Amino acid sequence: MPALQVRGLAVDLGGRPVLHDVDLDVDVGELVGLVGPNGAGKTTLLRSVLALVGTRSGTVRIDGEISRRARTQVGYVPQRHEFSWDFPISVEGVVLTGRVGTIGWLRRAGVDDYRAVREALEKVRMTDLRHRPVGELSGGQRQRVLVARALALRPKLLLLDEPFTGLDIPTQELLMDLFLELRSEGQALLMTTHDLTGAMHTCSRLCLINRTVIADGPPEELTDPQVWIRTFGFREGSPLLTHLGAS
């Protein structure tokens, strides 16, 4: 069983179809890049995996289990601006909130919860800053806190929504090294990104999406310009196609 299996997924929002006939697998140890233009339905697909939106048809399974019963198996890293950074809470406190799904609201955090938090902070190399209020962190540090919060759940699948947006190149590289390290340890990762060049270089597979999956394969095999044109609406002969190795 793959870590994530999506079959025949269709989602309507506000009475309009947003996704249809989506099939997608993410295996253990894979970093899959979900790429497509604005409004393609990438975030909606992530929200479907988290069972946060209703589906018209199709199935989403996490490690073989229907997604709404497997919420605690999925770590979600939202876009940075979706988090309230002015809340007076430390790095460690934010990461501990990642355990709420397993602790429950009424029980106190236990030894295993604090161990999971410590391990997650070590993984993203934020142990030294664990007592720092999150409002005092840089953009790159904030992104690492959100990754640690998701990892504290020890998830089967990690979902990342545009993790590189607004970060400088060295910080992007640091995060990408972290994702590659997680992948080599057997973590399954699904990441949306608008950084096509970065995705081509680092993802094991790319899923090109525009309301449905247009193409899915290792980056080096996505050489047909038509799939890029159909996904992004690039014009024929666009230098971007040459840049992507698909001219």
Please identify, using beta-carbon distances, which residue of 120 and 193 lies nearer to ligand ATP: 193
38 sits near ligand ATP (criterion: CB under 6 A): yes
- 206 and 229 in contact (C-beta within 8 Å)? no
39 sits near ligand ATP (criterion: CB under 6 A): yes
Among 6, 9, 44, 61, binds ligand ATP (CB under 6 A): 44
Strands (E), the chain: 4-13, 16-26, 31-35, 57-62, 65-66, 74-77, 157-161, 188-192, 205-209, 213-217
Using the contact rule CB under 6 A, the part of the chain among 24-32, 37-45, 102-110, 223-231 near ligand ATP is 37-45
* H or E segment to which residue 156 belongs: none
Among 35, 40, 158, 246, binds ligand ATP (CB under 6 A): 40
Among 41, 98, 140, 225, binds ligand ATP (CB under 6 A): 41
18 sits near ligand ATP (criterion: CB under 6 A): yes
Beta-carbon contacts of 60 under 8 Å, excluding residues fewer than 6 positions away, are: 4, 5, 6, 9, 48, 49, 51, 66, 67
Q: Is the alpha carbon torsion for 192, 124, 204, 167 positive or negative?
A: positive
Please identify, using beta-carbon distances, which residue of 13 and 66 lies nearer to ligand ATP: 13
Please identify, using beta-carbon distances, which residue of 179 and 232 lies nearer to ligand ATP: 232
42 sits near ligand ATP (criterion: CB under 6 A): yes
Closest contact distance (angstroms) between CB of 192 and ligand ATP is 6
Distance CA 158, CA 31 (A): 9
Nearest to 175 by CA among 205, 206, 211, 138: 138
Among 3, 22, 32, 36, binds ligand ATP (CB under 6 A): 36
Residues in contact with ligand ATP by the rule CB under 6 A: 13-14, 18, 36, 38-44
